[in-house]
Structure 1
Amino acid sequence: MVMECIVFLETHKSGSSRDAVEAAVQMGFFTILFTQQMKKLHQREEYPDVHQMIFVKDLRDKGVIYEHLRIINKQEKQIKALVSFVDPFVHLAAEIAAELGSASLSVDALYKMEDKTRFRETLKGHPAAPEHAVLPLKEDGDTLFHTHVNQLPVILKSPVSNGSKDVLLIDDKDAFLTACSYFKKQAGLSSLLLEEYVEGPQYLIEIIVEHGNVHLAAVIEQVISKEARFIITGYLMPAPLPDSSLEELQTVMESIVEQLGLSHGTCHAEMRRTVHGWKLIEINPRISGSAVNQLIYESTGISLVKETLKLNLGYPIDCTPKNQLSAYAHFITMQRKGKLIKVTGKQKAKTVEHIKKVYVKPRRGSILSAPVSMGHRYAYVIAAAPDPDEAVSAATSAAREIKFHLEPV
């Protein structure tokens, strides 16, 4: 009997990429994971939803991937889709799937969105695009500052950053020079992206495009910490926006994905609502990671990763909400560095009314620190209720029950 398979290029231990693997199992598929992280094979028992795990030293090596695919095909397994929900393999997976004839995603658009310089250059002149410049790192910081910085503050970032890593708010020349020195030390980095700083509340937009039809599957309000690194500590779904703003957002997103050439595929955008209209902060060729897929599910009953898999399989998608609840995800960060001794209060947090999930990421003995990227968010709580204030109150109350006991290092 031939088994129908979905092949995944990498997954995280939890979050949207792992939700996608679990969704594939629920859909009746045999799941195969290609990973370049040996620790996943050492922790094999923690991935029961992965039916077959294959170690690949470098997932960018298409020749090695094709060799493994040939072996799979000889094992009476039929590959129905090859996908990735993890940077930087989304475009590669779509490219291989197209070559195999198993998907028809907009490969070029996904490629553009994987690099911040590429998508900024493609959208140059678009009304929603902030001003930007590409800075060659070979020039000295003083020259770059006087040539390119016309007003402060500005944003300086790596073209391949994700999860708010290496995204810096620059408010004076000294900060700019320090940032340039920091980026010059990073291997393989030849340029920086300088962007206009945009004021206004920020929203996460989850988009799925099916044969040119643009579905805004989720519009989520983000709560951003006051740190310079833009760490997001809260997500409210659905965002409390008037119909007129949502209609304007729909028009703007349709225009953006058209200019990028995305006619079939998924992406998520971070947008700011300003006095001059909607402005694009980021766009990435996949669903957001971490708790976002579950947050959307608790609010609407839609599994966006499942709909993404359906898109890759050539099945019709359905983004019609089944529920209409407000859902809030609250993330926990540390204020100081330390070695984790234990975490208490998790069970108590689960007993708070309206709580749907409590997740704690680090293991005992891990070194925790104040956040410089989204990877330094160490736990989250999701609540869902008929009223948004109830959901926010429940999630923040439950989060206060969780205590991280640290030993100074």
Structure 2
Amino acid sequence: MATKALIMLEGNMTGTGLLYVQAAQALGLHPIILSADPTQYKYLAAEEIESICVDTRDFDELTRECSRLHETYEIVGITCAREAFYATVGKLCRYFNLPGPDAASIERCCDKFAQRELLAAAGVPVPAYRVAANATDVEAYAAEIGLPVILKPAAGSGSKGVRLCRNVDELSEHTTFLLGGKHIWQSPPRMLVEEFVEGPYYCVDIMGNEVIGIAAAEFGRPPHFIFSEFTFPAQLSEDEQERITNVALSCLRPLGLGWGPTNVEFRWTKLGPVVIEVNPRLSGTPDPQLIHLAYGVDLITEHIKLVIGEEWNLHRRLSHTAAARFLVAERDGTVAWVSGATQAAAASGISEVRLYVEPHTPIVRKGDDRDWIGHVIAASPSLARTKEMLQRAADLITWSITPHPPTGE
């Protein structure tokens, strides 16, 4: 009998990729990673995971490689932990007659303008928005909507290229950044000019048509939107929870979602919940870990079960509070040292400490999730206790970044 294999397109640098590999192995599957550069995922070599170098943006090459693997293995599922490749996963699943997401729905949803259009047409509350192709459009639309505005690429993830523009100078500066060659575009440049709606930020994780949990999220200092902390569950009234749940689920039908995982981001405004973004995939680190600690639901394992055609189990077995704190670089330079991670990991209530950098790592801040240098996760039955333990552990971790010398030295 052939070994059952789970194919994954690319991995993930901050932990989710490894979690998928471990979950697949726990289910008795043989994970195989297809990647344009497998060496970038250090856990593959450390865990002795089979990986194959292949152009993951070439669909024909992927089908040939999967067909070749099918001669040795029984391929029972194909998935990934990266939004950029999730539509390709859907196409491969359809090609090989395997369960998977609808590729066209994923592609529409990953186009933030198309997403906004579909949600607005369905009556889902979203910020005012316009799509711009050049600096003249940006300036005109910002004046129409009214400053401050959010200016961001119409496609992308991880807050890359997203900035709050509070005045005309900041708007011009960020437009120049996006169009001046510093931002990498995967398609012809299109920018979303969006109303800045204020209020507490929440993230909703959905599997199929079921809301699994609602997290409260916090950001670092503006003008960028770098998540600094997540807490499950968010402290909400019954009315707030019901309204957020209803709006989150109302996003699925117009976007053609509802198979597998979806993540919806909100601001709670004076008028109630406003949808900031719908992500047609499982959230990255640390959401899966936090949901597992808070509710006892292993979303990654349950997602894999769906991928391979088995029945999932989303029943909550816990009622705890779990929170994560991101460690963020405070300056550009080179990491000289990091200390205290071992002590933090051993502290009471701490379930995970992960560093993304090591000594001699160069730091060039981007104003997005690439500025994270690690995270700490804590959990307990009490919100106050969880926050206390998280703060104590985070305070134990210190680092030094040596600034780059001035240009010309």
Could you tell me the TM-score, scaled by structure 2's length?
0.93
Q: Please, which runs of 5 or more residues in structure 2 have no aligned partner?
A: 405-409
Q: Please, which runs of 5 or more residues in structure 1 have no aligned partner?
A: none
1:176-233 per-residue CA deviation (whole Å, 9 max, x = no partner) reads 1111111112454421111111111001111111xxxx11112110011122111111
Report the Cα offset of residue 21 of structure 1: 1.7
Alignment of 1:12-27 (within 5 A): 12-27=12-27
Structure 1 residue ranges (4+ consecutive) displaced by more than 3 angstroms after TM superposition: 40-44, 186-189
Report the Cα offset of residue 306 of structure 1: 1.1
Q: What does residue 192 of structure 1 align with?
A: 191
Identity of aligned residues (%): 24
Q: What does residue 222 of structure 1 align with?
A: 217
Say which SS state the counterpart of residue 227 (structure 1) adopts: coil
Asked if 1:73 is matched to 2:70, the reply is yes
Pairing partner for 2:132 from 125, 132, 135 = 135
* CA gap 1:53/1:38 in 2 versus in 1, 3 angstroms: closer
Equivalent-residue separation in structure 2 for 1:143 and 1:166 (angstroms): 17
Contact 2:295 2:316 in 1 (8 A): yes
Say which SS state the counterpart of residue 330 (structure 1) adopts: strand
Alignment of 1:95-244 (within 5 A): 95-125=91-121, 126-137=123-134, 141-142=135-136, 144-150=138-144, 151-186=146-181, 187=185, 188-209=187-208, 214-244=209-239
Contact 1:371 1:377 in 2 (8 A): no
Report the Cα offset of residue 62 of structure 1: 0.9
Pairing partner for 1:382 from 377, 387, 390 = 377
CA RMSD, aligned part only?
1.8
Could you tell me the TM-score, scaled by structure 1's length?
0.93
Equivalent-residue separation in structure 2 for 1:294 and 1:144 (angstroms): 39
Q: What does residue 84 of structure 1 align with?
A: 80
1:128-157 per-residue CA deviation (whole Å, 9 max, x = no partner) reads 2211111012xxx24531355321111100
Report the Cα offset of residue 338 of structure 1: 2.3
Q: What does residue 407 of structure 2 align with?
A: none
Report the Cα offset of residue 320 of structure 1: 1.3
Contact 1:142 1:177 in 2 (8 A): no
Contact 1:129 1:280 in 2 (8 A): yes
* Total equivalences in the alignment: 398
Contact 2:206 2:261 in 1 (8 A): yes
* Aligned-partner residue type, residue 407 of structure 1: T
Report the Cα offset of residue 408 of structure 1: 2.6
Report the Cα offset of residue 295 of structure 1: 1.2
Asked if 1:335 is matched to 2:330, the reply is yes
Asked if 1:55 is matched to 2:53, the reply is yes
1:249-297 per-residue CA deviation (whole Å, 9 max, x = no partner) reads 2211221111111132221111111111211111112111122211111
